[in-house]
Structure 1
Amino acid sequence: MDHSEPSSPVGLGQRIRELRVRRGLKQQDLASEEISTSYVSLIESGKRAPSDAVLAALTEKLGCSAEYLRTGRDQHEMEEARLKLAFGDMALRNGADGEALQTFSGLLGSPLPLDAVMRRRARVGQATALEKLGRLEAAIPLLEEIYDDPGLAAGSDEWCRTAVALCRCYRNLGDITVSIEIGERAMSRLDALGLDVTIDHVQLGSTLMGSYRMRGDHTRAHLLAQRLIPIAEKQGARAARGAVYWNAGLVAQSRGQLNEALALTERALAMMAEDDNVRHVAMLKMNYGWLLLQTESGELDRAKDLLEEAQQSLAETGNADELARCELSLAEADTALGNWPEAAAHAERALGLLGSEPRVVAVAARSILAQLHFLRQETDLGKQTLEAATRQLRHFPVSYETASYWRRIGDMWRDEGYPKQALAAYDAALSASGLQPTPSPRHALSERAR
């Protein structure tokens, strides 16, 4: 039931009448020396609006609050709703995402009175819990409904956070094109409004930067990073600056500039370390550890330590996708260290975390498992697992990320002596990168002959 309708003399009078009848009272029972029976009748019919003094006298006889008569919202029920909202928010902060989802969903389905702001806050909490639980396909429709709500002011912090969540959810589902469209439209809207920059605005730009990187638009991502860094520095908040350096580090890695990527990520980690966002610090440690794995520095043990620290924090504060990515980085570290059983256990845990919803990350997990089978001379199992990864990868839209996975699969087929499968994977990688096959003259002549 929506209790957010504005008060009116008609609504107020109707509530007085309904409550009087429910209490078994007559109009004259509400009358007094100051309030005549006929005046009570006029109030109930909506023809008179009572003064505060008259309303106070009526509430005393009806045994209710003035808030209820004015708005239809009971003060005790409103307080209960506020407490449940606060409990749901606290559960999200503590990583109890399932409990948070249950709280917000129960509140939205209950008869408790919620005004428009409280209802939107509960829906945001519900969508956030779904995203953190990895249920992205369920979170997206809720976020789109919130984002399209005319009561949500464009450019507000809540509007920015919703745009960021939508952009991130579509990206994590593998639909990079939609993710970028949402991010670009939101950034254009902010530019048109000419509002002061906040942390949430910078976060939106950082999220869009990450989507550009995953699509392979490294130049555009780099240019956006150059635009955001001075804004974040001027804005001053360490979290905002850390978010920009974090994504700028990932962009540098994609451009092959590993030393710059490590420096930017280390700077972001130093900024975020003083923040109270445990999840962000864990994600940065995971990224830093993963970057160390890409270098030839030989710091495998340090990389693994960072990844294990990140894993412990993400187990409490991260979502399924983030924890799965951390497990895969640990699998890569243990593979390089020769700890093959441990590496396989990490990859299997990642698959379990990802569940049945489509995830590009699941392709990486199966690729790692296939590699481990080949290393242990389990050729048939390796082929079966790599073929499963290949079948799954065909279902995702083309992007820089899918191209990199096709390249990885092609390299594995090549190294194991399967040139036909390797060539098919390399061909898919080129197509995913935007390079189309060259038309064959023989094929054109054959078609003409027909």
Structure 2
Amino acid sequence: MMEQPFFGRRLKELRTERGLSQAALGGGEISTGYLSRLESGARQPTERVITYLTTQLGVDRSAFESPPVGSSLAQALSIAASTDSDEAMENLAAVLGSAQKESLLQRWQALWLISRYRRRRGESAEEQACLEELARLSEELALPELRCRAWTQLAQCLRSSGDITRAIGIAEKAYRLAKDTELTVHDVAPALLTLVALEVEAGRLPDARAHADELVPLVEGRTDALRAEALWAAATVRLRHGDYVAARQFLEQAMTELDSRIDLILWVRLRLAAASLYLQLTPPRTELTAECLSQVEAPLSLVGTPPLRQELLLIEALLAFQEKKFDEARALHDELSGEDLRLTYRDRIRLDILDSLLLILEGHREDGITALKELGEKAQQMSHIDLSAEIWRVLAETLVTLTGPAATASHGGGRPS
């Protein structure tokens, strides 16, 4: 049975898996506006449209049929908890949407699993909706562990979408609750990790440094993902302080200590973070960036989610820019811009900075400079003080390069953050 919104989510998934834009999929038969409404669940597909889409995507119509809904939330929850399949998670979401009398604890657990599934797929709006409801349920349940975890995850989601002001308030609540109720390191450390990241974004570097220095000893002696993320957080703080040596040491220690068998996705993310860091050194260590990117190619074929693959493309574009391969950088930028972006707010800004610098190189100086100014003002308005400062730095360097005596049309004009 073709039911919305499952049909729309499945259509979008199949289209993006094949690297097709809405225009490419629609061809001359279906408008992009109609496809967009199908994917959002606002329109029900006709038989003619279903036949056309199955042919274009090379799938059977069963690929669009809604999975059978479990008879109870408990049943759907048990199935989803024991498998990583998308079908089980979509079924759980469908069952939860129609559930009425199930226990609050079952609803909480279902929302927790669904929110993680949405995060993995880069579906930020859907993830935030789950986490908002999760936080509300946590208040009703009044269990400090569940409240702390819901707040921590909601703060992380808000950070990814760029809502720093609200995110930092929620992260502070999670951390205070974890400390006041003497929760274990499994709750205190994630709350601290989230708070440190937000304090860095908000430009509260002394607070971030103090909390990072509290976090690292807290996970001393561990060999799990929590330890690696703590070292990564410490590296981020040092990087924002301009201490590139210490930042590199912390990040390389995290990469050395984390076994890929413990958490392959985190293993990949650490190397992408290192690749980005090496581009920010003076001078940029492009050979180390290239080495990190080569290390993640094979793992990404196994665990590559849309956000991870897009992050890889972004770093490849920034690397091409540093190597003065401007045509390649533009091609990679345009490839990313043509996709359904799943990047974090910060990475979206980095992509926009790259576009501005490429515009300047391509002869559109005023457009590029204006775009950089607008990015800096927007980041400042949204309380991204650290990011705003980075944009103004890039703009200043660009203006100096353009007006200096050695300015020519052949040089880079600035360094993307």
What's the TM-score once normalised by structure 1's chain length? 0.64
Q: Cα–Cα, structure 1 residues 307 and 205, in superposed 2: closer, same or farther, change >3 Å?
A: same
Residues 1:268 and 2:251 are matched in the alignment: no
**Paired residues of 2:147 and 2:174 also in contact (CA < 8 A):** no
Q: What is aligned with 1:364?
A: 350
- Taking a change above 3 Å as real, the CA distance of residues 315 and 129 of structure 1, as seen in their structure-2 partners, is farther
User: Could you give the per-residue CA deviations for residues 115-163 of structure 1, whole angstroms, max 9, x where no partner exists?
Assistant: 433322222222223333333233223212211214545442x544322
2-structure distance, mates of 1:337, 1:304: 11
Which residue identity lines up with residue 154 of structure 2 in the other structure? L
Deviates more, 1:107-116 or 1:135-144: 107-116
Q: Where do residues 140-179 of structure 1 align in structure 2 (5 Å cutoff)?
A: 140-149=128-137, 150=139, 152-156=141-145, 158-179=146-167
The 1-side partners of 2:301 and 2:388 are apart by 27
Q: Are residues 1:105 and 2:107 paired?
A: no
Alignment-derived partner of residue 232 in structure 2: 246
Q: CA deviation at 1:210?
A: 1.1
Alignment of 1:305-344 (within 5 A): 305-310=291-296, 313=299, 317=303, 320-344=306-330
Choose from 185, 193, 204 the match for 1:206: 193
Aligned equivalent of 1:215, options 202, 216, 225: 202
- 1:408 maps to 394
Q: For residues 417 and 319 of structure 1, do their structure 2 counterparts lie closer, same or farther at Cα, with a shift above 3 Å needed?
A: farther
> Which residue in 2 is equivalent to 1:226?
213
Letter in 2 for 1:182: I
Match of 1:40 in 2: none
Of structures 1 and 2, the one scoring higher in RCO (CA 8 A, sep 6+) is 2
Cα distance in 1 for residues equivalent to 2:342 and 2:193: 29
Offset of 1:330 from its aligned partner?
1.9
Is the CA contact 2:149–2:174 (under 8 Å) kept in the aligned structure 1? no
Instruction: Give percent identity, aligned residues only.
Output: 20
CA distance change for structure 1 residues 254 and 194 in 2, over 3 Å: closer, same or farther? same
Could you tell me which residue of structure 1 aligns to residue 168 of structure 2?
180
Q: Note if 1:85 corresponds to 2:80.
A: yes
State whether structure 2 residue 243 is matched by structure 1 residue 257.
yes
**Which letter does structure 2 place at the counterpart of 1:209?**
V
Q: Cα gap change, 1:155/1:392 in structure 2, threshold over 3 Å: closer, same or farther?
A: same
Of 225-234 and 305-314, more deviation after overlay is shown by: 305-314
Name 2:122's counterpart in structure 1: 134
Distance 2:155 2:277 in 1: 24
2-side partners of 1:247 and 1:224: how far apart?
10
Give the secondary structure class of the aligned counterpart of 1:143: helix
Report the alpha carbon displacement of residue 257 of structure 1 after superposing the two structures with TM.
0.9
Q: Work out whether 1:118 is the aligned partner of 2:106.
A: yes
The alpha-carbon deviation at position 246 of structure 1 amounts to: 0.8
Distance 1:198 1:387, change over 3 A: same
Cα distance in 2 for partners of 1:300, 1:358 equals 23
Q: Indicate the larger mover: 282-291 or 103-112.
A: 103-112
**CA separation in 2, counterparts of 1:271 and 1:152?**
38
Distance 2:114 2:103 in 1: 16
Deviation at 1:255, TM superposition (A): 0.8
Alpha carbons of structure 1 residues 383 and 324: separation in structure 2 relative to 1, 3 Å: farther
Residues 81 and 113 in structure 1, CA contact (< 8 A), matched pair in contact too: no
CA contact (8 A) 1:331 1:347 kept: yes
Cα distance in 2 for partners of 1:416, 1:251 equals 32
Change (3 A) 1:201 1:313: farther
CA distance in 2, matches of 1:237, 1:101: 30
Aligned-partner Cα distance in 1 for 2:225–2:344: 31
After superposition, give the CA deviation of every residue in 1:331-364 in whole Å (9 maximum; x if it has no partner): 1211222332332233234434564999343332
- Counterpart Cα distance in 1 of 2:319 and 2:249: 21
Kept after mapping to 1: 8 A contact 2:202/2:386: yes
Structure 2: gaps spanning 5 or more residues: 1-69, 405-417
Per-residue CA deviation, residues 171-204 of structure 1 (Å, 9 max, x unaligned), is: 1222222221111111111111123x23342122
- Residue aligned with 1:90, SS: coil
> What SS does the corresponding residue of 1:379 show, helix, strand or coil?
coil
Q: Which residue of 1 aligns with 2:363?
A: 379
Residue 383 of structure 1, CA deviation: 3.9
What is the number of equivalent residue pairs in this alignment?
331
Say if 1:237 and 1:308 are closer, same or farther in 2 by CA, change over 3 A: closer
CA distance in 1, matches of 2:204, 2:189: 19
> 1:317 Cα deviation (Å)?
4.2
The Cα offsets for residues 89-134 of structure 1, whole Å up to 9 and x where unpaired, read as 513xxxx5xx565333222235698543332222222222333333
The one-letter code sitting in structure 2 at the alignment partner of 1:168 is: Q
TM-score under structure 2 length normalisation: 0.69
Note the 1:48-87 alignment, pairs <5 A: 80-86=75-81
